[in-house]
Amino acid sequence: MKKTFGIFVVLVASMFVFPTWGIAGISPDKLVEETVQEVIDIIKEDEAIKSGDKEKMLDLVETKIIPHFDFTRMTRLAMGKNWRNASEEQQSVLVKEFRTLLVRTYSNTLTSYSEETISVTPIPNIGDATESTVRTQVIQGQGKQPVPIDYNMEKQASGWKVFDVTVAGVSLVTNYRSSFDSQIRRGGVDGLIKTLTSKNDSLEGH
């Protein structure tokens, strides 16, 4: 699971550009384009966040990032064939722990933001599509290569929801599927739940 956690630092720089995807009638690429500067300004100007206020960071993640992810679909995709072998109760716990994992990981790594900017590729004609991919690049500066990040999204009644993220060609869901499958082979679904819970407990203390 270590490899999976390693991609979060670069993810965070662009994950917080989706605070208003729920607004009807606006394509996801336009929403990203319109909101990125506003949210970056929050990071730059909020004194509590800049001073490392964990509660303020957690609130930022909860309000600006997490509502725009479909954690049930993400967890189901990450589980792959193992999803159907989990009971409804186990599925519910897995979604909860997976959500908690991302919330705590993001809040603990928000301090890694260091003046990155986001370039969004316009979608020519989204039409009536119910799924779309928003392609972005994190411009890091200092001679570093831009990092491509693609968001696979589904249009739902409440707005566009992310169900997978691909960083430099590596799918978040696929990456988790490999680590989840490994954990399940060793300890079953309950073993995976135990591992996620333990990881979440360790993140809470950071």
Q: What is the count of structural domains for the chain? A: 1
Q: What is the pLDDT of residue 10?
A: 47
- Three-class SS state of 17: coil
**pLDDT of the residue at 59:** 83
Residue ranges making up the domain that contains 163: 2-204
pLDDT in the model for residue 14: 47
Find tokens 């917080």 and name the residue: 16
Cβ(180)–Cβ(163) under 8 Å? no
pLDDT at 141: 76
What is the pLDDT, as a whole number, of residue 20? 45
Rounded distance between C-alpha atoms, residue 206 and residue 201, angstroms: 9
Output the domain CATH number for residue 178: 3.10.450.710
pLDDT in tens, the chain (206 residues): 544 444 444 454 444 444 444 445 677 777 666 666 666 777 778 888 878 788 887 887 787 777 778 999 999 999 999 999 999 999 999 999 999 988 887 677 666 666 778 888 999 888 888 999 989 888 877 788 888 888 898 988 888 888 998 888 999 899 999 999 999 999 999 999 999 999 999 887 66
Give the Cα separation of 37 and 108 in Å (integer).
Answer: 22
Separation in Å, CA 64 to CA 57, 60, 99, 104: 10, 6, 14, 14
